[in-house]
Amino acid sequence: MILALFLLLWQAPDPVAEATKALEADKPQEAITLLKPVVEKDPKNLVAWFHLGLAQGLLGQDEDAITSYRHVLDEKPDLYEARVNMAQVFVRMRRATDAKPLLEAAIEQRPKAPAPLILLGVCLIDLKDYGGAEAHLRAALELDPKNADAWSFLSRALLAQGKLDEAAAAIEKTGDKSAVAAIREQQAMGLLNSGKTAEAAALLEKVVADAPTSATKYALAVAYLRLKQPDKSIPLAQEVVQAEPKDYEVRMFYGRLLRDQKKYALAAPQFLEGVRLKPGEAEAWSELTGMLILLEQYPQALQGLEKLRSLQGETAAYWWFRATVLDATKQPKEALASYERFLELSQDKSPDEEFKARMRVRILKKVVRK
């Protein structure tokens, strides 16, 4: 009698209930350990399969999760929760064509539920149906206006359609300043490329104020230069060089800014660094050599000219600059030969330099004869 009463009062733990508790406690592996023996023993236990799929999905065991949800949907194809969960796994796996019919069916079952609308929007983005994605995401936001994920995906759909203003407005709803900046940057670059420099600069100023990056600072520096505001461009370029010291393009841009403001002593190190970054780049050697000549560092300038000759061959420009350096360092015989070689190659292509060269040839011939 006592034993019978004890058996009535005592019941073995329900592994599915225990697995549910484990999932609620964020212990999916424990849930899997509890559920696997259940489905092995009773393959028709759909509740166990459903929770097993949920636990596997939480651990990123996506193929296993798909298998578990299939067991459920094979028996109950209209089960809403299984459809949505399985579709979510497909979306994560970037299998949009598999997720799409599940989500369409789920939306038909519950048209006022935002989750499947958002997931379908994501699927359609992957399938490059950006208009369809926009429609579904806007429908989700009518139901849940504060859903940050929906706003974020909507911005992607709008951006893909070239709706930059709407995309920026959408991403602002998420509070993600860096994402807003990225879209605003694209807008600004579009304005910059279309010649609307003042508008681009105004937009980039806002971006740099809210979420500054090297890219946006560089773009703003370019805009200021085009607006003939080098005093604003130079400090921004300097900041970018300091942040991105190995960026060749930024180095050259900053060096030219300084060069054009006749700050040759400051420009030369930038071009020297450009040479170090790309030793085979004639552009950097040309700029560096030009600065060395202007700074009257003639021995180093001659070395730069020889490097340019090895990269570009003996051009008219090479002989012109070589002649001027040799002339400046009082080497009349060598300077004369270089001027004459320049005149042979130039052939009316540089009339101003050719006129000067002829004048110097006459003078140097007299000097050499003495």
Task: Determine, yes or no, domain membership for 35.
Answer: no
Task: Determine, yes or no, domain membership for 285.
Answer: yes
Task: Determine, yes or no, domain membership for 212.
Answer: yes
Do 255 and 211 belong to one domain?
A: no
Last residue of a domain, one of 229, 244, 259: 244
Task: Determine, yes or no, domain membership for 45.
Answer: no
Q: Of 226, 234, 237, nearest to 263 (Cα)?
A: 234
d(CA 215, CA 200): 14
Task: Determine, yes or no, domain membership for 304.
Answer: yes
d(CA 89, CA 100): 12
Do 338 and 294 belong to one domain?
A: no
Do 355 and 367 belong to one domain?
A: yes
CATH assignment at residue 297:
1.25.40.10
Which tokens belong to 50? 């459903």
Task: Determine, yes or no, domain membership for 41.
Answer: no
Non-local (6+) Cβ contacts of 359 within 8 A are none
Do 253 and 271 belong to one domain?
A: yes
Do 240 and 180 belong to one domain?
A: yes
- What pLDDT, on a 0 to 100 scale, did the predictor assign at position 182? 78
* Sequential pLDDT tens for the chain (370 residues): 444 434 444 455 689 899 899 999 999 999 999 999 999 999 999 999 999 999 999 999 999 999 999 999 999 999 999 999 999 999 999 999 999 999 999 999 999 999 999 999 999 999 999 999 999 999 999 999 999 999 989 998 998 898 888 988 888 888 777 777 778 888 888 888 889 999 999 989 988 988 888 989 999 999 999 999 999 999 999 999 999 999 999 999 999 999 999 999 999 999 999 999 999 999 999 999 999 999 999 999 999 999 999 999 999 999 999 999 999 999 999 999 999 999 999 999 999 999 999 999 999 999 998 7
Local structure of residue 25 (DSSP, 8 states): T
Place of tokens 């500054």: 212
121 within 8 A of 143, measured Cβ to Cβ: no
Do 278 and 238 belong to one domain?
A: no
138 within 8 A of 173, measured Cβ to Cβ: no
Please, what is the end-to-end C-alpha distance for the chain in angstroms? 139
Domain range for residue 237?
176-244
Last residue of a domain, one of 296, 313, 330: 313
Non-local (6+) Cβ contacts of 292 within 8 A are 268, 298, 300, 301, 304
Number of domains in the chain: 3
Task: Determine, yes or no, domain membership for 36.
Answer: no
Last residue of a domain, one of 244, 269, 289: 244
